[in-house]
């Protein structure tokens, strides 16, 4: 039997407001427990929530960015449940009328084609506090600093058909909220959290299978692994005569497995009702139009523009638009170097590797985009070879100055003077008569590899500065290739 995987994601993005969604307490991460929870967050009697306008603006920015319907009138509702880190006994969320309705985002599949994934809705809600089980032996500590932090819960349609697609979608949403500057996207600190709903069905069947909801996933790598584990588990279960039950399962990264946490509650278990302490949010057209007008160029538009204007492949355009700062960096390099493709390669490969090695963000890159463009320009105009350019780049990275200064100071200018190259070639041939004889006696097929020896010797003699193409041509001519 062939099985098809069906996945829908619920993503909680912590909005980057300075204060909480219904109080003036700070949202900064990492403070001493319970120092950032005011009377509203503690749920003391007699206090009232006041909506933070910035959270509304951020939610609408997200909605317009994914071309979603914006709820002209959205309503806050109480979601009732008991848990020690929820002092009010209910969470303020949105239920029937969310602030963001249907929208969509585009993901790139591995074969380079694009797929639209539907976003069902996105609603505003407050976060709960945290239960700390580790620090107190036999007890549980409650930290309410996080209580009342604004969240945007983004719910997708069950449109994804593999773990890879789910990761591509989650990365896209992550990219969008970061482009918009409405969420810092830090998965380790929990400011961007994914729950994956996973089911399987026989290939060709219309009806969806029963889903399990996977929680506790704090990286894209774990998202992929959790889904793959869960798909295998469900298939094995069904094939051995069992049934998948609707439940919440916890992903354990140490064991790379999911295990049952609780049976899933239904909406009516929560006794949702409109919160009488908060007015409905009514948005007028001018407000929405102003937000739409103020949006930055979003990833899809940027990617398509990079493909069109710079002739980049979908995959390269995707890589170079991963973040706004990287995209800006690339565009400056493309402009200053005068070669958009060479610029793309050098930014993705050499610069990317160096940033990776040092664990640096592009914003902290020690080589400014203009300087990097200057280096690429010297490869383009044949002042240096790609190999020497790597050496120059290392020196730039170490703070030795711009490409031109380093090339002059170290005498790295490429030798294109054919007389000088010819002299080096003659010397190498004269000092290696045996190899010359072997080369001339060898069959065609073996020669290119043998030529490499001579090229290497000439390059060594010229300290890597001879123009490689000229060296090759001269050698072939002299050896009779
Ligand atoms: P809840 O809040 O109870 O988890 P929702 O209706 O908000 O329920 O749906 C949660 C997510 O589950 C959505 O992203 C939806 O696309 C996804 N989903 C629904 N049915 C299935 C299914 N059969 N298989 C996989 N995902 C599903
Ligand atoms: Mg859910």
pLDDT at 136: 78
- Is the CB–ligand 1 distance for residue 247 below 6 Å? no
435 CA from centroid of ligand 2 (Å): 71
What's the CA angle centered on 151, arms 150 and 152, to 5 degrees? 130
- Is the CB–ligand 1 distance for residue 118 below 6 Å? no
Q: How many CB atoms lie within 10 A of CB 263?
A: 10
- Is the CB–ligand 1 distance for residue 158 below 6 Å? yes
Q: Where are the domains of the chain?
A: 3-290, 297-410, 418-480
- Is the CB–ligand 1 distance for residue 326 below 6 Å? no
H-helix or E-strand spanning residue 235: helix 220-239
Q: What is the full DSSP assignment across 280-319?
A: PEE--HHHHHHHHHTPPPPHHHHHHHHHHHH---HHHHHH
**What's the length of the chain?**
481
- Is the CB–ligand 1 distance for residue 124 below 6 Å? no
Q: Which of 227, 231, 172 minimizes the C-alpha distance to 195?
A: 227
Structure tokens, 477: 């001519």
Cβ neighbours for 207, distance < 8 A, ≥ 6 positions apart = 201
Sign of CA dihedral 280, 286, 291, 295: positive
Closest ligand to Cα 270: 1
pLDDT at 365: 96
- The burial of 35, by beta-carbon neighbours within 10 Å (0-12 exposed, 13-18 middle, 19 or more buried), is given as exposed
How far apart are the C-alpha atoms of 164 and 168, rounded to whole Å? Answer: 6
- Is the CB–ligand 1 distance for residue 197 below 6 Å? yes
- Is the CB–ligand 1 distance for residue 141 below 6 Å? no
Structure tokens, 187: 């998965």
pLDDT at 445: 86
pLDDT at 420: 85
**Shortest-distance atom of ligand 1 to CA 213:** 4
How far apart are the C-alpha atoms of 364 and 113, rounded to whole Å? Answer: 33
Closest ligand to Cα 205: 1
pLDDT at 416: 78
Q: Report phi then psi at 93, rounded to 5.
A: -140, -170
- Is the CB–ligand 1 distance for residue 248 below 6 Å? no
Contact indicator for 422, 431 with CB cutoff of 8 Å: no
- Is the CB–ligand 1 distance for residue 150 below 6 Å? no
> What residue has token string 């969604």?
21
Q: Which of 221, 197, 220 minimizes the C-alpha distance to 209?
A: 197
**Shortest-distance atom of ligand 1 to CA 210:** 23
Please give the torsion angle defined by the CA atoms of residues 57, 63, 67 and 71, in that order, rounded to the nearest 10 degrees: -90
Radius of gyration, CA atoms only, the chain: 30
157 CA from centroid of ligand 1 (Å): 7
Query: How far from chain centre, in Å, is Cα 438?
Result: 53
CA distances from 403 to 329, 367, 381 (A): 17, 10, 13
> What residue has token string 């060898």?
442
3-state secondary structure of 270: helix
Evaluate whether the domain defined by 418-480 bears CATH number 1.10.10.410.
yes
How far apart are the C-alpha atoms of 413 and 430, rounded to whole Å? Answer: 26
How far apart are the C-alpha atoms of 454 and 476, rounded to whole Å? Answer: 10
Q: Which of 217, 145, 160, 149 minimizes the C-alpha distance to 184?
A: 149
184 CA from centroid of ligand 2 (Å): 23
List helix spans (H) across 118-219: 163-180
- Is the CB–ligand 1 distance for residue 234 below 6 Å? no
**Shortest-distance atom of ligand 1 to CA 198:** 25
231 CA from centroid of ligand 1 (Å): 16
Contact indicator for 94, 125 with CB cutoff of 8 Å: yes
Structure tokens, 179: 């482009």
- Is the CB–ligand 1 distance for residue 272 below 6 Å? no
CA distances from 232 to 1, 236, 247, 267 (A): 13, 6, 16, 28
pLDDT at 265: 73
**Shortest-distance atom of ligand 1 to CA 265:** 3
3-state secondary structure of 464: coil
Instruction: Please choose from 7, 155, 231 the residue to mutate so as to test ligand 1's pocket, defined by most ligand atoms within 8 A of CB.
Output: 155
pLDDT at 110: 86
- Is the CB–ligand 1 distance for residue 41 below 6 Å? no
Sign of CA dihedral 226, 227, 232, 236: positive
296 CA from centroid of ligand 2 (Å): 31
User: Which residue's alpha carbon is nearest to atom 17 within ligand 1?
Assistant: 8
**Shortest-distance atom of ligand 1 to CA 9:** 14
Instruction: Please choose from 3, 4, 7, 8 the residue to mutate so as to test ligand 1's pocket, defined by most ligand atoms within 8 A of CB.
Output: 8
pLDDT at 425: 92
- Is the CB–ligand 1 distance for residue 98 below 6 Å? no
pLDDT at 29: 87
How far apart are the C-alpha atoms of 457 and 214, rounded to whole Å? Answer: 59
Q: What is the pLDDT along the chain (481 residues), one digit of tens a residue?
A: 899 999 999 999 999 999 999 999 999 988 999 999 999 999 999 999 999 999 999 999 999 999 999 999 999 999 999 999 999 999 999 999 999 999 999 999 988 889 999 999 999 999 999 998 887 788 999 999 999 999 999 999 999 999 999 999 999 999 999 999 999 999 989 999 999 999 999 999 999 999 999 998 999 999 999 999 999 999 999 999 999 999 999 999 999 999 998 887 777 889 999 999 999 999 999 999 999 999 999 999 999 999 999 999 999 999 999 999 999 999 999 999 999 999 999 999 999 999 999 999 999 999 999 999 999 999 999 899 898 999 999 999 999 999 999 999 998 888 877 888 889 899 999 999 999 999 998 888 888 888 999 999 998 888 888 888 889 989 989 988 5
> What residue has token string 């990264």?
253
**Shortest-distance atom of ligand 1 to CA 158:** 16
């Amino acid at each position: 039997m062939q099985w098809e995987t069906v996945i829908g994601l619920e993503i909680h993005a912590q909005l980057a407001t300075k204060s909480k969604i219904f109080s003036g307490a700070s949202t900064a991460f990492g403070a001493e427990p319970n120092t950032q929870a005011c009377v509203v967050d503690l749920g003391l009697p007699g206090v009232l929530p006041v909506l933070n306008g910035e959270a509304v603006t951020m939610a609408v920015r997200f909605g317009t960015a994914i071309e979603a319907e914006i709820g002209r009138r959205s309503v806050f509702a109480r979601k009732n449940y008991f848990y020690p880190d929820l002092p009010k006994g209910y969470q303020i969320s949105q239920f029937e009328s969310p602030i963001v309705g249907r929208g969509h985002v585009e993901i790139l599949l591995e074969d380079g084609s694009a797929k639209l994934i539907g976003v069902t809705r996105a609603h505003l809600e407050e976060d709960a506090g945290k239960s700390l089980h580790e620090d107190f032996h036999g007890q549980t500590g409650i930290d309410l600093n996080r209580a009342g932090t604004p969240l945007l819960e983004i719910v997708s349609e069950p449109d994804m058909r593999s773990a890879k697609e789910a990761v591509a979608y989650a990365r896209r949403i992550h990219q969008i909220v970061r482009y918009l500057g409405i969420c810092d996207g830090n998965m380790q600190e929990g400011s961007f959290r994914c729950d994956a709903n996973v089911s399987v069905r026989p290939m060709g069947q219309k009806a969806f299978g029963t889903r399990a909801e996977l929680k506790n996933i704090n990286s894209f790598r774990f998202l992929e692994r959790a889904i793959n584990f869960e798909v295998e588990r469900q298939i094995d279960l069904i094939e051995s005569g069992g049934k998948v039950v609707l439940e919440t399962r916890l992903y354990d990264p140490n064991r790379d497995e999911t295990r049952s946490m609780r049976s899933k509650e239904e909406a009516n278990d929560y006794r949702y009702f409109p919160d009488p302490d908060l007015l409905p949010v009514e948005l007028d057209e001018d407000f929405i139009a102003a937000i739409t007008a103020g949006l930055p160029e979003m990833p899809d538009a940027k990617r398509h523009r990079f493909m069109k204007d710079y002739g980049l492949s979908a995959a390269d355009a995707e890589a170079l638009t991963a973040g706004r700062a990287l995209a800006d960096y690339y565009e400056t390099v493309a402009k200053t170097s005068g070669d958009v493709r060479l610029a793309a390669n050098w930014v993705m490969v050499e610069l990317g590797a160096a940033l990776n090695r040092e664990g640096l963000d592009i914003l902290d890159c020690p080589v400014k985009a203009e300087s990097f463009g200057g280096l690429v320009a010297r490869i383009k105009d044949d002042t240096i070879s790609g190999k020497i350019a790597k050496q120059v780049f290392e020196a730039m990275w170490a703070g030795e100055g711009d490409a031109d200064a380093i090339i002059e100071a170290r005498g790295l200018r490429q030798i294109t003077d054919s007389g000088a190259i010819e002299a080096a070639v003659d010397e190498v041939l004269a000092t290696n008569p045996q190899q010359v004889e072997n080369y001339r006696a060898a069959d065609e097929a073996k020669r290119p590899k043998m030529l490499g020896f001579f090229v290497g010797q000439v390059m060594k003699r010229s300290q890597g500065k001879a123009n490689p193409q000229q060296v090759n041509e001269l050698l072939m001519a002299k050896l009779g290739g």
